[in-house]
Structure 1
Amino acid sequence: MATTVELTTHIAAPPETVWRRVMTPRLLDYVAAPLIRFRYPKGFDHQRWQVGQHRAKMRFMGIVPIGWQIIGIELPASPDEVTKLLRDNGYGPMIKRWDHWIVIRPHLSGEGTQYTDRVHIEASALTPFITAYAKRFYAHRQKRWRELAHSDFAALEG
């Protein structure tokens, strides 16, 4: 069984700024916290995502170990001149498929960014539970994005 979760929000920052930030592991760490904390291997480049597979250990609420996940970074071709795409074609021991797409484009109002998280999930019998969690997780991430943009990304500068 597979499912898809998709959420879209408005981020009060230019698409170029949002794209620059989404390309950093530091942004993922910030927007996922405190629900999920990632631990990367020694020597991992925290400055910018590199195309390829990155294995990260995860902790629920920063405390409970929940195993590892492959973060599989891809940069698919854009369907047009203004849309940016990032794909995390990930998986782990509990989740056979965590195919997360981030779509960034100018907001229809002409101000800020239209930001979409779309994830395709396959986790056998756990799929309904993982899907319910994904809805909560991406709503949380997008809320953290909006707050971060309103603070002019100050929390990432420290």
Structure 2
Amino acid sequence: MLVKVMSVFNCDSEKLFHEVKKSKSLVYIGKPLVKFVQLPKHPLPEVWEDGKYPIKMYILGFIPMGKQWIVISVHNDNKRIRDNGYSNLIKKWDHNIHLTDIGDNKTLYVDTIDINAGILTYFIVLFANVFYRWRQKRWRKLINNKFNYNV
């Protein structure tokens, strides 16, 4: 099933894409709905690069969702990042972030997620709809605070 959430942000698309490529943005943007925990032997890169990264996920910061694989491909030419991730629970979590400069220092930000979790797909899709709206709200806050991750 497909989830698509989009927003227009008051931010230069190049600057926003620079921030989207930081792995610390994943941690910040997910709080407090999802907590992402790096595994000691598999630290996330400071800036996303093509690769496969295991993490642990917790819903609301304390409900364990087990190990999730983040499978990143970065497409600098068209300001897109893809996470073709999965876990034991979710067989397919194909998430694309795509940024488009729409002029006047504004960026169209689109999250598109294709999800397959077997009989749990409907429930995961409901959660994804809430989560990605939350993420875009957090992006707006981060942009308004000039990318200060400590606020």
Partner residue in 2 for 1:142: 136
C-alpha separation in 2, matches of 1:136 and 1:94: 19
Between the two proteins, the alignment pairs up a number of residues equal to 150
SS at match of 1:155: coil
1:86 aligns with 2:64: no
Gaps of 5+ in 1: none
Tell me, in whole angstroms, the C-alpha distance in 1 between the residues paired with 2:70 and 2:44. Answer: 13
Q: CA deviation at 1:50?
A: 2.2
Question: For residues 17 and 26 of structure 1, what CA distance do their matches in structure 2 show?
Answer: 15
Structure 2 match to 1:4: 2
Cα distance in 1, alignment partners of residues 59 and 14 from structure 2: 31
CA-atom RMSD, angstroms? 1.6
> Normalised by the size of structure 1, how large is the TM-score?
0.89
Q: 2:29 aligns with which of 31, 40, 51?
A: 31
Structure 2 residue aligned with 1:96: 91
Q: Which segments of structure 1 move beyond 4 Å, counting only runs of 4 or more?
A: none
Higher strand share goes to which structure? 2
Cα pair distance change 1:37/1:90, threshold 3 Å = same
Q: Does structure 2 conserve the Cα–Cα contact (< 8 Å) formed by 1:26 and 1:46?
A: no
Which deviates more, 44-53 or 94-103? 44-53
Shift of 1:72: 0.4
Q: Which residue of 2 aligns with 1:118?
A: 112
Offset at residue 75 of structure 1 (A): 2.1
CA contact (8 A) 1:40 1:57 kept: yes
**1:64 partner amino acid:** I
Matched to 1:85, the amino acid is R
Residues 34-53 of structure 1: CA distance to partner in whole angstroms, max 9, x if unpaired? 01111112251441112110
